[in-house]
């Protein structure tokens, strides 16, 4: 909590917005004692600014400065009170409805919806006619008119949090419902509560000024809204007395501005994705003799001394460290490693599909004689997919949910200058049949397919332009074992027929050893061992490869025993090897 | 003979599909029965959609079953507590969730996560609370305990978080722990330590563990008995070594042959047909995919057949012909 407030203060938007708001808060608190009585008729009406009346006088001869300063107090007090009440009522009703669900949700949601369809302004007019006059009436009117939208927002948030495992875990622990709402759900909504409060205050100030300007407030009190009401009543515009309404207008605009800045600052701080990535210092790559060497014949892809850095707030962090390997045409090359080992980063790097914060800081990627690292944007577009394509881990997010499969094939083919829609659809049918799906699925949408079928579509898409290399990033991790085996068998069959090479990336070393010709093992961004599958299976040399192999329990009879003693020790030893294992995360 | 620790008979659950006026229901669990003894690890194996997690949630009393009984130490808990689980039940049956990144509340410290069950179930007083929390952390190998207790979940690795989740389940000193794929979200090098922790617990404290997994190899490594679930029914169960080395149900064989192992893993064909139609409403759920299915399999649900001591198979072919010849599994 303290930490997040400290971060808020360091944020520029928050600092500017906060200072403006603080100025008005102080003004509202102490200002009224410093200026004259705003209701006193102190001078002649419609006087422009002068030394006696710095902001001039109103149409009735009151001091505009005094009216502006005094008006701040009630306007802001009502604004913050309504902001707080609307947030609390909305959060309480929304979270209760969202968490308890069923009947309670039905009843509360119905009430909320009824309030949402009642237009706010007429409701305020009707309520205003019945309630006794005064600032409390304004608070009541605005709260009743404004809570419903908030309840919707908080209900949605509670619905998404309710299904999180930590809520189920708290239930299993035996916690009561009230405590789950108060201690498990609400603290997770702190940022939503904060930004809602600010947004609601903004709404309250605007709505209050609007109602009062229309004369629906208490015209006897001094607020920014009544100032504008009297300015309009006294024909300020007709008499060109701009000084009567401009100070109040500027104050309202500034308060609105500061609240908007604060709300946007909270958004940015709680959602790091909105933040611009830290600036990356340009690095001059060092070209060594090994990198400059021309590609040997019979090698499809050479990765040479590749380094990839991520820009972080604490400077660049090396994710891929001096990695070199070759892939021959038609070969299945496996990359194994744990999370954070850099295996997926290498895969994305080959297609130059790295996120903006990552960059290739050293090394070269040679593909069939072309230097991929040196391609410009146009050449890169032509290179991707026609030479090297990719199958992603999550097929659902790799396919566009609002396009039929045929359209997605057409998009891919058309982007590379192929063919009409009819020709694309014909090719799509052919490709779908090739991966063992019915060609009729060309008119299906992604949500109509099972996970295994989607991943087959992903493979068909990757093969659409007959690339020479397909990068597969954990293509079967989300699938059941039976579906996984069917998919892999189909993939290898196609490889035999079409002759493409595969870079297969996964954490599952036993699987890699079963399907690859050669396997590279990554640890903390470094390639620690590269060898053929047979040799790795017979006896891996690097201790980390041995540890990975022994970590997978086996199904066959003889190796279900405990791991060899030195590895068992290594797995449990607290210091050196454990640190080495986690190297990838640093 | 004393009653088993946990005895489940005929547990079933279905949910309504379609809109709120729809009458159609989908069966998630179809008459599941099993027993769990003290100090035993029972592995529940099946693919996604087989009803594994539904069963876990029903046993943890997060969802209510439509029918069946659940006896804990001989007492019928569903009949005794119609309004949902009592605190007493929560104190005896605990659950470890699949995703340690989701099952710990990001706003609370590790210490808070362990204090709550200790206080709620009266397993500690305010005075010895700190000592108990530290002892729990030490029992799952998180030392120095003082430092871990003060940390927030995001300051821990996946394996450490899952240890905290296990410690939270242990805090109430339960008799049964339901572990729902506790290692599937973890890196391979940390998987083994969590598995060893679970096995140590059953031995040291006599806790019965229902270990839910999709990974036959983990089941073999850890469990005393295995139960295979397909479309909400138990199709085979028995001692781990027997079920996995000589599977008798065609579905268990299919699972067995899909485990990636050995150089010729991909050359061996899968003993399965491409699905030939919808699941028959009264027959065996596996019939459309089963290479050996005949008319009987589509017409009636096979009964449970006990082939050897404690080895149960739900298959028509098993009951009549005995062992089915299946070359694909001989490896």
pLDDT digits (tens, 9 = 90+) for A140-191: 888 888 888 889 999 988 888 888 889 999 988 888 888 888 888 888 888 8
Residues A369, A225 share a domain: no
Distance (Å, whole) CA A225 – CA A245: 10
A197-248 pLDDT tens trace: 998 998 888 888 888 888 777 777 888 888 888 888 887 777 777 887 888 8
Residues B190, B264 share a domain: no
Higher pLDDT, B299 or A294: B299
Domain with B160 in it: what CATH number? Answer: 3.40.50.300
Q: Which residues of B touch A507 (CB under 8 A)?
A: 187-188
Distance (Å, whole) CA A549 – CA A554: 10
Residues A146, A90 share a domain: yes
**Which among B229, B255, B288 is the end of a domain?**
B229
Q: In what order do the strands lie in the sheet with B176-180?
A: B93-96, B176-180, B208-213, B41-45, B225-230, B233-239, B311-313, B305-308
Question: Which range marks the domain in which residue A132 is found?
Answer: 2-274
CB contact under 8 A, B116 and A170: yes
| Residue A557 domain flag | no
Residues A181, A140 share a domain: yes
* Chain B touched by A581 (CB under 8 Å): yes
Interface test with B, best of A179, A481, A567, A574 (most B CBs within 10 A): A481
Interface test with B, best of A3, A166, A188 (most B CBs within 10 A): A166
- Dihedral sign of CA atoms A182, A188, A193, A196 in order: negative
Residues B130, B165 share a domain: yes
Helix and strand tally (H, E) in chain B? Answer: 13, 12
Average pLDDT, chain A: 82
Res A45 pLDDT > 70? yes
Residue B330: predicted pLDDT: 39
Residues B158, B55 share a domain: yes
Structural domain count, chain B: 2
Segment among A7-11, A116-120, A262-266, B66-70 with least mean pLDDT: A7-11
Helices A543-551 and A565-572: angle between axes, nearest 10 degrees: 90
| Residue B25 domain flag | no
* Chain A touched by B191 (CB under 8 Å): yes
Other C-beta atoms lying within 10 Å of the C-beta of residue A254: 14
What is the ipTM score, two decimals?
A: 0.85
Decide: A145 and A126 in contact? Cβ < 8 Å. no
The residues facing B208 across adjacent strands are: B176
Residues B191, B90 share a domain: yes
CB contact under 8 A, A170 and B105: yes
CB contact under 8 A, B220 and A507: no
| Residue A551 domain flag | no
Residues B252, B221 share a domain: no
> Could you tell me the pLDDT band of residue A395, with boundaries at 50, 70 and 90?
low
What distance in Å separates residue B1's CA from the closest CA in chain A?
30
Higher pLDDT, A270 or A130: A130
Res A495 pLDDT > 50? yes
Residues A314, A266 share a domain: no
Residues A304, A252 share a domain: no
Place of tokens 């296990």: B166
Size of interface A-B (CB pairs under 8 A): 149
| Residue A545 domain flag | no
* Chain B touched by A516 (CB under 8 Å): no
Distance (Å, whole) CA B30 – CA A547: 41
Interface test with A, best of B45, B53, B152, B187 (most A CBs within 10 A): B187
Structural domain count, chain A: 2
Residue A55: predicted pLDDT: 78
Q: Is A361 helix (H, G, I), strand (E, B) or coil?
A: strand
Distance (Å, whole) CA A420 – CA A15: 56
Distance (Å, whole) CA A542 – CA A60: 91
Distance (Å, whole) CA A86 – CA A67: 28
The tokens of B329 are what? 């599994």
Residues A332, A250 share a domain: no
Residues A321, A263 share a domain: no
CB contact under 8 A, A560 and B221: yes
**Which among A274, A309, A335 is the end of a domain?**
A274
What distance in Å separates residue A363's CA from the closest CA in chain B?
29
| Residue B74 domain flag | no
Distance (Å, whole) CA B283 – CA B290: 12
Residues B111, B59 share a domain: yes
Question: Which range marks the domain in which residue B297 is found?
Answer: 247-329
Res A375 pLDDT > 90? no
Helices A12-34 and A246-270: angle between axes, nearest 10 degrees: 140
Residues A270, A135 share a domain: yes
Residue A501: predicted pLDDT: 94
Residues A234, A373 share a domain: no
| Residue A212 domain flag | yes
Residue A575: predicted pLDDT: 34
Kindly state the helix (H) or strand (E) to which residue B178 belongs, with its residue range: strand B176-180
Q: Compute the average pLDDT of residues A457-485.
A: 88
Domain with A365 in it: what CATH number? Answer: 3.40.50.300
Residues B319, B175 share a domain: no
Residue A565: predicted pLDDT: 37
The stretches of B7-59 forming alpha helices (DSSP H) are 52-59
A61-87 pLDDT tens trace: 788 788 888 888 888 888 999 999 999
Largest Cα–Cα separation, chain B: 68
Q: Is A324 helix (H, G, I), strand (E, B) or coil?
A: strand
Residues B193, B118 share a domain: yes
Q: In what order do the strands lie in the sheet with A301-312?
A: A315-327, A301-312, A358-367, A370-371
Residues B312, B259 share a domain: yes
| Residue A437 domain flag | no
The stretches of A40-184 forming alpha helices (DSSP H) are 64-100, 102-117, 120-130, 135-162, 165-173, 177-179
Does residue A549 have a cis bond before it (omega within 30 degrees)? no
Distance (Å, whole) CA A387 – CA A369: 12
Distance (Å, whole) CA B152 – CA B101: 12
Residues A357, A256 share a domain: no
Residue A308 backbone phi and psi in degrees, to 5: -125, 130
Pairing of strands B41-45, B208-213: parallel
Q: Which residues of B touch A553 (CB under 8 A)?
A: 192, 195, 215, 217-218, 220-222
Out of A488, A554, A557, closest to residue B266 by CB? A488
Residues B291, B205 share a domain: no
Residues A259, A226 share a domain: yes
User: Which A-chain residues 153-192 have CB contacts (< 8 A) with chain B?
Assistant: 164-166, 168-175, 183-184, 187-188, 190
Q: Which residues of A touch B215 (CB under 8 A)?
A: 553
Out of A172, A187, A514, closest to residue B60 by CB? A172
Residues B318, B218 share a domain: no
Domain with A209 in it: what CATH number? Answer: 1.10.3720.10
Residue A280: predicted pLDDT: 58
Residues A188, A126 share a domain: yes
| Residue A355 domain flag | yes
Residues B45, B146 share a domain: yes
Place of tokens 């003693």: A565
Decide: B324 and B250 in contact? Cβ < 8 Å. yes
Distance (Å, whole) CA A157 – CA A160: 5
Q: What is the pLDDT along chain B (331 residues), one digit of tens a residue?
A: 678 899 999 999 988 776 666 677 888 898 899 999 999 999 999 888 888 889 999 999 988 899 899 999 888 888 888 777 888 899 999 999 988 888 999 889 999 999 999 999 988 888 899 999 999 998 888 888 889 999 888 888 888 888 899 999 999 989 999 999 888 877 777 778 888 888 888 888 889 999 998 888 888 888 999 999 998 899 999 999 899 888 989 999 999 888 887 767 777 888 887 766 777 778 888 888 888 888 888 888 888 888 777 888 988 887 665 444 444 343 3
A338-364 pLDDT tens trace: 877 888 899 999 988 888 888 888 888
Distance (Å, whole) CA A479 – CA A476: 5
Polymer length of chain A: 586
What distance in Å separates residue A268's CA from the closest CA in chain B?
19
Q: Which residues of B touch A514 (CB under 8 A)?
A: 260-263, 265-266
The angle subtended at Cα B48 by Cα B46 and Cα B54, nearest 5°, is 80
């Amino acid at each position: 909590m303290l930490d997040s407030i400290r971060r808020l203060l360091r944020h520029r938007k928050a600092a500017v917005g906060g200072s403006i708001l603080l100025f008005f808060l102080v003004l509202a608190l102490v200002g009224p004692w410093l200026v004259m009585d705003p209701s006193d008729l102190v001078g002649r009406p419609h006087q422009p600014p002068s030394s006696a009346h710095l902001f001039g006088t109103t149409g009735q001869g009151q001091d505009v400065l005094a009216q502006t300063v005094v008006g701040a107090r009630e306007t802001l007090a009502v604004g913050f009170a309504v902001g707080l009440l609307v947030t609390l009522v909305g959060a309480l009703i929304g979270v209760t409805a969202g968490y308890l669900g069923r009947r309670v949700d039905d009843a509360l949601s119905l009430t909320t919806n009824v309030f949402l369809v009642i237009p706010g302004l007429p409701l305020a007019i009707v309520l205003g006619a019945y309630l006794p006059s005064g600032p409390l009436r304004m608070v009541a009117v605005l709260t009743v008119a404004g809570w419903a939208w908030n309840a919707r927002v908080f209900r949605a948030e509670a619905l998404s949090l309710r299904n999180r495992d930590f809520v189920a875990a708290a239930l299993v622990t035996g916690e009561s419902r009230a405590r789950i709402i108060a201690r498990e759900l609400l603290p997770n909504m702190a940022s939503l509560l904060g930004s809602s409060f600010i947004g609601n205050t903004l709404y309250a100030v605007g709505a209050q000024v609007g109602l009062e300007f229309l004369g629906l407030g208490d015209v006897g009190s001094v607020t920014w809204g009544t100032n504008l009401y009297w300015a309009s009543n006294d024909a300020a515009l007709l008499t060109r007395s701009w000084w009567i309404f401009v100070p109040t207008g500027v104050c309202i605009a500034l308060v609105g501005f500061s609240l908007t800045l604060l709300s946007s600052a909270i958004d940015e701080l709680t959602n790091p994705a909105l933040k611009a990535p830290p600036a990356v210092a340009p690095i001059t790559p060092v070209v060594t003799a090994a990198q400059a060497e021309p590609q040997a014949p019979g090698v499809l892809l050479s990765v040479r001394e590749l380094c990839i850095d991520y820009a972080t707030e604490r400077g660049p962090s090396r994710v891929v460290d001096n990695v070199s390997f070759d892939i021959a045409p038609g070969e299945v090359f496996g990359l194994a490693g744990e999370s954070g080992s850099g295996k997926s980063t290498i895969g994305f790097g080959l297609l130059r599909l790295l996120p903006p914060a990552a960059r290739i800081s050293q090394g070269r990627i040679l593909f069939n004689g072309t230097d991929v690292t040196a391609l410009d944007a146009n050449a890169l577009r032509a290179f991707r997919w026609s030479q090297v394509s990719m199958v992603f881990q999550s097929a659902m997010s790799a396919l566009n949910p609002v396009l039929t499969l045929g359209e997605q094939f057409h998009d891919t083919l058309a982007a590379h200058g192929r063919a009409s829609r009819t020709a694309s659809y014909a090719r799509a049918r052919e490709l779908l049949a090739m991966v063992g799906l019915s060609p009729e699925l060309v008119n299906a949408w992604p949500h109509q397919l099972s996970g295994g079928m989607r991943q087959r579509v992903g493979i068909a898409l990757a093969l659409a332009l007959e690339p020479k290399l397909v990068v597969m990033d954990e293509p079967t991790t989300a699938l059941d074992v039976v579906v996984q085996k069917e998919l892999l068998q189909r993939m290898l069959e196609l490889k035999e027929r079409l002759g493409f090479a595969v870079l297969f990336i996964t954490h599952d070393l036993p699987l890699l050893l079963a399907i690859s010709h050669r396997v590279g093992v990554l640890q903390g961004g470094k390639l620690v061992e590269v060898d053929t599958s047979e040799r790795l299976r017979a006896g891996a040399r690097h201790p980390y490869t041995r540890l990975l192999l022994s970590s997978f329990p086996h199904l066959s009879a003889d190796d279900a025993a405990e791991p060899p003693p030195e590895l068992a020790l290594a797995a449990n030893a607290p210091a050196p090897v454990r640190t080495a294992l986690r190297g990838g995360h640093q | 003979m004393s009653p088993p620790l946990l005895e489940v008979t005929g547990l079933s659950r279905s949910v309504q599909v379609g809109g709120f006026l729809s009458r159609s229901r989908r069966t998630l669990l179809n008459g599941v029965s099993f027993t769990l003894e003290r100090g035993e690890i029972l592995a529940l194996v099946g693919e996604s959609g087989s009803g594994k997690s539904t069963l876990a949630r029903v046993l943890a009393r997060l969802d209510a079953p439509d029918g069946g009984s659940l006896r804990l130490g001989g007492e019928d808990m569903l009949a005794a507590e119609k309004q949902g689980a009592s605190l007493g039940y929560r104190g005896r049956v605990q659950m470890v969730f699949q995703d340690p990144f989701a099952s710990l509340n990001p706003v609370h410290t590790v210490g808070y996560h362990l204090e709550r069950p200790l206080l709620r179930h009266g397993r500690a007083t305010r005075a010895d609370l700190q000592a108990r929390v530290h002892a729990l952390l030490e029992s799952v190998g998180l030392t120095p305990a003082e430092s871990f207790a003060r940390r927030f979940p995001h300051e821990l690795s996946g394996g450490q978080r899952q240890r905290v989740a296990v410690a939270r389940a242990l805090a109430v000193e339960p008799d049964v722990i339901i572990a729902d794929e506790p290692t599937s979200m973890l890196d391979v090098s940390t998987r083994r330590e969590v598995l060893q922790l679970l096995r140590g617990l059953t031995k040291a404290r006599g806790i019965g563990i229902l270990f839910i997994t999709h990974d036959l190899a983990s089941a073999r490594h850890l469990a005393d008995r295995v139960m295979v679930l397909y479309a909400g029914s138990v199709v085979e169960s028995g001692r781990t070594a027997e079920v996995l080395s000589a599977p008798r149900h065609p579905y268990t064989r299919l699972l067995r042959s899909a485990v990636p192992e050995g150089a010729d893993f991909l050359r061996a064909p899968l003993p399965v047909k491409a699905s030939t139609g919808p699941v028959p409403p009264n027959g065996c759920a596996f019939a459309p995919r089963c290479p050996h299915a005949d008319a009987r399999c589509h017409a009636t649900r096979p009964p449970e057949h006990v082939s050897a001591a404690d080895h149960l198979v739900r298959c028509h072919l098993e009951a009549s012909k005995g062992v089915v010849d299946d070359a694909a599994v001989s490896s």
